[in-house]
Structure 1
Amino acid sequence: MKPCLRILLLVLFFGFTGMARSQQHEDWREFMEQLAEEEMNETAIENMHEELLQLENNPMNLNMVSREQLENFPLLSIEEADAIFRFLERNRPLYTVFELRNVPLLNIKTVEMILPFFHVGEMGKRETRLQATDMLKYGRQEVQFRFDKTLTPRAGYGEFPDSILERYPNRKYRGEDFYTSLRYSFRYRDRIQMGFTAEKDAGEPFFQPDYPKGYDHYGAHLIIHDIGRLTTVALGDYRLSFGQGLVLNNDFMISKSWSSANIARRTLPPKRHFSTAENGFFRGAAAVAELGNFSVTGFYSDKRIDANLSDEGDITSFKVDGLHRTPLEIEKKKNTREQVAGGNINFRKDRLQLGISGIFHRYDKMYNPTLRDYNLYSLRDSSNLNASIDYSFQFPGLIFAGETAIARNGAVATLNTLRYRFSGNLSFSLLHRHYPISYNALYAQAFSEGGNVQNEQGLYVGAEFSPFSKFSVTAYADFVRFPWLKYGIDTPSNAVDLYLLGTYTLSRQSFLEARYKYKQKEKNTAWPDENSRSVLPYATHKFRFRYSLDLRSGWNFQTTADRAHYKEKHFPAENGFMLSQNIGYRGRGPLTGDAYLAWFNADTYDARLYSYERNPLNTFHMPSFYGKGYRLAFSAKYAVNGNLSFSVKFGHTRYFNRDTIGTGTELIDGNNRTDIFTYIRWVF
């Protein structure tokens, strides 16, 4: 038996022993895990992670929170936000956050997940004027510093003769082999937010003679709330979302599997962009004005972005990874000017909401992707215009919401949702979308399977129910048709996505969870013995079983078994298996920590498995693995006092069946990789 497997079995055995204590087991970080598993936009995941961390560090006062703040909270559905606000109106003042358990329509899972984002404070009147003396006295400042480094050498940091670099200049990174970021923020209650961000990725130059600016990326923001009729003013870097996202959304992501109650979206006010993501945000100004039942939003953005250019100087695609390590990557940095302007008029009365949105964007170059059959209908212009109407209506137990949008070429896209709650223990959701191949909206981000609001027709059916108090079930089925060709698929195709999650709460201290995911899609397949290819269906089955136990002393044990089964028609099946154990300590002292050990065996990338492990604050890292090996990670946080804390994480991965890891400049000549993450947070 492998030594690491012996260790894992011992950890599993001791993980099931001990006395239990009361502790919340639902964690919003599991939501981030599901987003990563669904392979959603990495920038949106990072933005979402940063926003939830900020909300957790600055919890809302239940005795002062407004309806708008609840509706803007991304983990609550429209119905849930309304139920909480009506409960607060009737029962304020509250004396403990646990009174949220008495809110009608909220299940235990939702309550335990949102508790860290609220606190109970004094009731009082909202300030109407900003006083400089109060801002200086009661404002909260925060400095965050992060430093990460891969200890295992990679090819891009090696030494090369000048003759080789003259011929192959992109074989070597221009910068140092570490990641670092610095962030400062100031917050005054719920009225003012301001801050700046500076970041350098590993491989990017840092204060070098030919790169004196220091960090590779800088950003700043200022958000002010409640200035007369202006409810929000945003300057600098910000994010926006209108309606269901058919014309504009660079904010919150929608996950199919998290909750069928949350598939409907709503127009949100501008939010600060404070993550280190270098794309997926606007840079300029935005404002929201309230005029009776009307809310009017206007914005303008003007910034430089990265793009891949053709020999003729046209934009063939946008470079969104934010990496500027080699001469080729540096050449693409901020080589295109992007201007975006638009607005939204929103009407709301009682349970009715109507909105009109419009967005116009222009580049200083022609957007002209390299012509292929699958992108025959893509936008080919330096500008575009989109407009839409969005709507929602709430009946008791029922919510209808949707959006219908039009592009400048006349193509119409629509998305409509219906949610009905039969009782407190049973709810049902339906979502239909129709995105024509000719609909072009480069800033749209809505519910989809293909990742784009284009070339997709689908019907989603979801349900949540609790047959009895300790058992809950979440399930959905999504049936999708792609009427035109896609990248890697030479014919129109179909997809089926199924999900089933059952959670059994053994006690307040422990729970069991079983999950099944099934996805069937199609792709081009090359025949080994013939110079031809066909479009064939493939299916992926994923199973997960998880047990979690909390102990009185502050220890938590979470055991997870994952299995993946991938099968393409006419080809052998591919399988993956992972067994992992997470041990966490959250005592009353200044030191907290986690240890994670996983053993994995996956035949190929298609049968890969994901590692869910704790990370330092403001760090989202969820690697996937295939091959044979193990993953070991340790993390710790030490709070010097209530204002200063240090965090560190050590991660090590070893493979038993390979001699190298990665490719190209990221190639590691060996079978193991070791990373270290450090983080310092100072609040004053």
Structure 2
Amino acid sequence: MKEYLFALILLLIAPTLKAQQPHDWEKFYDELASQQDDNNDSREEIFEILSELEENPINLNTATKEDLERIPFLTAEQIEDIQAYIYRYHGIHTLSELMLIESLDATRRNLLANFVYVQIDESLRPYPSLHQIATQGTHTLIGTGRIPFYDRQGDRNGYLGYKYSHTLRYNFHYRDYFQLGFVGSQDAGEPFFAQRNAIGYDHYSFYAEIRRLKVIENLVVGRYKANFGYGLVISSYFNLGKTAALSSLGRQSNTIRPYASRSQAKYLQGAAATIRIAPNLKLSTLLSHRPVDATLNPDGTIKTLLKTNYHRTPKEMERKNNATQTLLATNLNFQHNALHIGATALFTRLSRQLSPDISKAYLRNNPTGNNFWNISLDYSISRPRLSIAGETATGKSGGIATINKLSWRTTETISLLAIQRYYAYKYSSLLAESFSAGGNTQNESGLLIGANYNLGSILTILFYTDYAYFSHPRFRAHTASHAWDNMLSIAYTIKHITISARYRLKIDEKDAPKTKILTQETTQRARLSLAYSNIHWQTQTQFNLTHCNRPTPSLGYMISQAIVWHPTDVISLNTLLGYFHTDNFATRIYIYERGPRYTLNFPSFFGKGFHYAFMCTANLTKHLMLLLKLSTTKYFDRSHISSGLQQIDHSSKIDLDLQLRYKF
């Protein structure tokens, strides 16, 4: 009863508070994430990256190529054009000058303003003193929590902790020169200041970064992430997927950044640095030693390296930190005008031997042993309107992996992209994360061809077709198989109104249930949207439709209405209403939903029911921001939700999200 009373009081006082404006970049994120149905980690990662960039924008006049590559929607050509403009005209004085950069379309110009600023004299200043950093830096403290007004089966008997989830973030930064911070994260059901979490949160991430210190481009101590080339050897960054690759024309990046995510799967721990050893030559070195979750075989070897990060039950807790992973990597990067050449070498050691269950056909070519190594060469050649790039790698297993892309801006409005990849069934890297249809940089060859037509801010058309072939067994396919993925998206804007439509056809060969006969699973997804926006209002009416032929022909649809209202500069309210009706899980509907910063809200719905959410964001003072969100899902076709320890013995569920940010 106290929880309900607390929620009611907060909702009543919220309309009197001052609010921040809604974030335009979230609409772009919606366009990217709505196409990537199966990779929640990637969605959450990109959302956190964009939230971080909004909190700590980049000064365009001092930004390096690697800085701009952190912005996922910029193409390689646009990054080069921005830097060429700054070099030619000795800086950008106002963001309106971005209109003079030919390759930047109106959509990207508007988005870019959320993540960058211009300060013309910053690059001329000497490196700041410790006193400057300490007294002029910005502190940001963010607390986020979720209160569920229901009990799961595991909350009553099974989970080690309580039903609430919460995250605490702290960041201190001084411009582009220095930052430090930490993240503490707790999932629902995990113990807090108890058992193996005696020091508090289940997950902590601490980091400090120094940048632009003479020959040191950046130095990170603590937890960090890194990416070189196209990720065939090492990438702890997100994989944006096909739609985003088309939007950014498949560019690569070589970056090392602090790890500020609540996820526990992809971080490195130790130290990493990039130094400039010559005008056109950079050297990056990584050293990492971290614990990893693993299920063990009876003989103590590792059966599976885990990335789920849940430690809610005694069994899940037993898998926590069962092994350690030590890593040493280096990258040499040569850049001269339009030519880039890079070389990467990686050595990894596990404290226990990796020994997967090879009785399963799709695991027979997985890596085994304690020690692993990989090397690769990557390249890029960028000319006006044309870019060619790629990476080729090998490793301990002897297999080869290669990915190559060609992007061509044929006219001011049309861009074309082709991405070819070949990942041998023998190739493996424990830290690889690259473009793929099957989710792994192994046992896949394929070709994506796409086109992007952009007529200013009026008309945008995106299209791709992607064919992939898997020469050996994979999960749910006992023999060689293939997949074919196609997407067409059209958006038309006139004044305040945007009409958009999207259709996706995906054909994937999988084993028929309880048999070893390959059959085609055909999934079709369509979306039609009508949006209106002005200074005070943003509305979006959306219709989603899904059809799948397996296990039996089934259909699903959802009608939703989103409203954002900020009548003055002091308040912002968000509402989402939706009715869904699907035959089964195969025809589930995904829909993007705004929520607290750094928190993914991309739920899926199946069955028959109604969903609504209300969110209010407010600035209590100049430094203090409060966010409240109440969401409800009511099902009409069941008396309980989910199953096992996650089962809720009711046909509806209500969650309250709270976020408090203090910035000074």
Q: TM-score, normalised by structure 2?
A: 0.93
Q: Comparing 62-71 with 484-493, which one deviates more in the overlay?
A: 62-71
Summarize the Cα distance change of 1:544–1:55 in structure 2 as closer, same or farther, 3 Å threshold. same
The residue number in structure 2 matching 1:187 is: 173
Residue 427 of structure 1: which of 415, 418, 437 is its match? 415
Q: Is the 8 A contact 2:58 2:117 kept in 1?
A: yes
Out of 568, 580, 585, the residue aligned to residue 605 of structure 1 is 585
> What amino acid is aligned across from residue 621 of structure 1 in structure 2?
N
* Structure 2 unaligned blocks of 5 or more: 1-20
Instruction: Give the Å deviation of 1:512.
Output: 0.8
Residue number in structure 2 paired with 1:201: 187
Percent pairwise identity = 30
Cα shift readout 1:643-665 (whole Å, capped 9, x = no counterpart): 11011111100111111111111
Distance in structure 2 (CA, Å) of the matches to 1:93 and 1:332: 53
Counterpart position of 1:641: 621
* Letter paired with 2:297: S
- The AA in structure 1 aligned to 2:546 is A
Deviation per CA, 1:375-421, whole angstroms, max 9, x where unpaired? 21111111211000000001221100000001112211100000111
1:323 equivalent in alignment to 2:321: no
Task: State the partner residue of 2:517.
Answer: 534
Give a deviation string over 1:459-494, Cα, whole Å, max 9, x none: 000101146862221100001111111111112111
CA distance in 2, matches of 1:369, 1:381: 10
Matched, 1:234 2:232: no
Give the CA deviation at 1:433: 0.3
Aligned equivalent of 2:538: 556
Distance 1:421 1:646, change over 3 A: same
Deviation at 1:69, TM superposition (A): 2.3
Task: Write the letter of the residue equivalent to 2:77.
Answer: E
Match of 1:407 in 2: 395
Deviations 1:129-148 (A, max 9, x none): 33121112210111111111
Aligned-partner SS, 2:380: strand
CA distance in 2, matches of 1:204, 1:45: 23
Residue 573 of structure 2 aligns with which residue?
A: 593
Q: For the residues of structure 2 that align with 1:36 and 1:222, how far apart are their CA atoms?
A: 34
Q: Which residues in structure 2 correspond to 1:467-478 (within 5 Å)?
A: 470-478=458-466
* 1:444 positional shift: 0.5
> Are the aligned partners of 2:77 and 2:384 in contact in 1 as well (CA < 8 Å)?
no
TM-score with structure 1 setting the length: 0.90
Instruction: Indicate the SS of the match to 2:487.
Output: strand
Q: CA RMSD, aligned part only?
A: 2.0
Instruction: Quote the offset at 1:323 in angstroms.
Output: 1.3
Cα 1:83–1:101 change in 2 (3 A) is: same
- Alignment-derived partner of residue 9 in structure 1: none
Q: Judging changes above 3 Å, is the alpha-carbon distance between structure 1 residues 219 and 64 closer, same or farther for their aligned structure 2 residues?
A: closer
- In the alignment, what sits opposite 1:166? none
Match of 1:168 in 2: none
Q: 1:25 to 1:102 in 2, by over 3 A?
A: farther
**Paired residue type of 2:537:** W
Are 1:543 and 2:495 counterparts? no
What one-letter code is carried by the residue in structure 2 that aligns with 1:225?
R
When structure 1 is superposed on structure 2, of 588-597 and 58-67 the one drifting more is: 58-67
SS of 1:85's equivalent in the other structure is helix
Length, aligned pairs only: 642
Question: Which of 341, 344, 369 in structure 2 is aligned with 1:357?
Answer: 344
Shift of 1:91: 4.4
- In the TM superposition, what are the counterparts of 1:252-401 in structure 2 within 5 Å? 252-292=238-278, 293-371=280-358, 372-401=360-389
Distance 2:404 2:73 in 1: 20
1:24 is displaced (CA, Å) by 10
Structure 1 residue 374: Cα displacement: 1.6
- Are the structure 2 counterparts of residues 572 and 345 from structure 1 closer, same or farther at C-alpha, using a change threshold of 3 Å? same
Q: Read off the aligned partner of 2:198 and give its amino acid letter.
A: P
Q: What is the aligned partner in structure 1 of residue 547 from structure 2?
A: 565
Find the partner of 1:625 among 605, 623, 648.
605
**TM-aligned CA distance change 1:129 to 1:30, over 3 Å:** closer
Asked whether 1:657 is paired with 2:640, we answer no
User: Given the superposition, is the C-alpha separation of residues 466 and 326 from structure 1 closer, same or farther in structure 2, using an over 3 Å criterion?
Assistant: closer
Shift, 1:326, TM fit: 1.0
Partner of 1:486: 474
What is the alpha-carbon distance in structure 1 between the residues aligned to residue 30 and residue 301 of structure 2?
Answer: 36
Partner secondary structure for residue 401 of structure 1:
strand
Q: Secondary structure at the match of 2:389?
A: strand
Which digits, 9 at most, give the CA deviation of each residue in 1:136-161, with x for residues without a partner?
221011111111122111101115xx
Distance 1:79 1:467, change over 3 A: closer
Contact 1:294 1:346 in 2 (8 A): yes
CA contact (8 A) 1:596 1:633 kept: yes
Q: How far apart in 1 are the matches of 2:67 and 2:412?
A: 24
Q: Distance in 1 between matches of 2:456 and 2:98?
A: 20
Task: Select 2:563's aligned residue among 560, 583, 598.
Answer: 583
For 1:209 and 1:460, locate their aligned partners in 2 and report how far apart those are by CA, in whole Å: 49
Q: Residues 209 and 384 (structure 1 numbering): CA distance in 2 closer, same or farther, change over 3 Å?
A: closer
For the Cα contact (< 8 Å) 2:34–2:592, is it kept in 1?
no
2-side partners of 1:72 and 1:526: how far apart?
43
**1:595 Cα offset (Å):** 0.4
> Which structure 1 segments of 5+ residues have no match?
1-22, 160-171
Cα offset, 1:555, TM superposition: 1.6
Deviation at 1:182, TM superposition (A): 1.2
1:153-210: CA deviations, max 9, x gaps? 1101115xxxxxxxxxxxx111111011211111011001101111211111122478
Report the CA distance between 1:40 and its aligned residue: 5.0
**Counterpart in 2 of 1:444?**
432
CA separation of 1:337 and 1:87: change in aligned 2, threshold 3 A: same
Q: Is the 8 A contact 1:616 1:635 kept in 2?
A: no
1:665 and 1:26 map into 2 onto residues whose CA distance is 38
Kept in 2: contact 1:585–1:594 (CA 8 A): yes
Cα distance in 2, alignment partners of residues 341 and 93 from structure 1? 38
Q: 1:551 to 1:228 in 2, by over 3 A?
A: closer
Query: Does the 8 A contact of 1:307 with 1:332 survive in 2?
Result: yes
Q: 1:467 to 1:108 in 2, by over 3 A?
A: closer
Counterpart secondary structure, 1:303: strand
Q: Contact (CA 8 Å) 1:430, 1:461: kept in 2 or not?
A: yes
Q: Which residue identity does 1:557 align to in structure 2?
A: T
CA distance in 1, matches of 2:72, 2:267: 17
Measured at CA, do residues 338 and 39 of structure 1 come closer, stay the same or move farther in structure 2, by a change above 3 Å?
farther
Q: Could you tell me whether the CA contact under 8 Å between 1:47 and 1:273 is conserved in 2?
A: no
Cα distance in 2, alignment partners of residues 232 and 117 from structure 1: 20
- Deviation string 1:77-97 (CA, Å, 9 cap, x unpaired) is 211111122233344554542
Deviations 1:573-628 (A, max 9, x none): 11110100000023443321200001000111111101211101121121101100
Q: In 2 relative to 1, CA 109–352 (structure 1 residues): closer, same or farther, beyond 3 Å?
A: same
Task: Return the alpha-carbon distance in structure 2 between the equivalents of residues 642 and 68 of structure 1.
Answer: 33
Deviations 1:246-299 (A, max 9, x none): 101111323211352524343423101011111201000011111221110001
Structure 1 residues 504 and 438, CA, compared in 2 at 3 Å: closer, same or farther?
same
**In 2 relative to 1, CA 282–209 (structure 1 residues): closer, same or farther, beyond 3 Å?**
closer
Q: Structure 1 residues 277, 36: closer, same or farther in 2, change over 3 A?
A: farther
Q: Secondary structure in 1 aligned to 2:123?
A: coil
Q: Is the 8 A contact 1:497 1:518 kept in 2?
A: yes
Map Cα deviations across residues 497-522 of structure 1 (whole Å, 9 max, x no partner).
00101110111x22111111110001
Instruction: Check whether the contact 1:264–1:401 (CA below 8 A) recurs between aligned residues.
Output: no
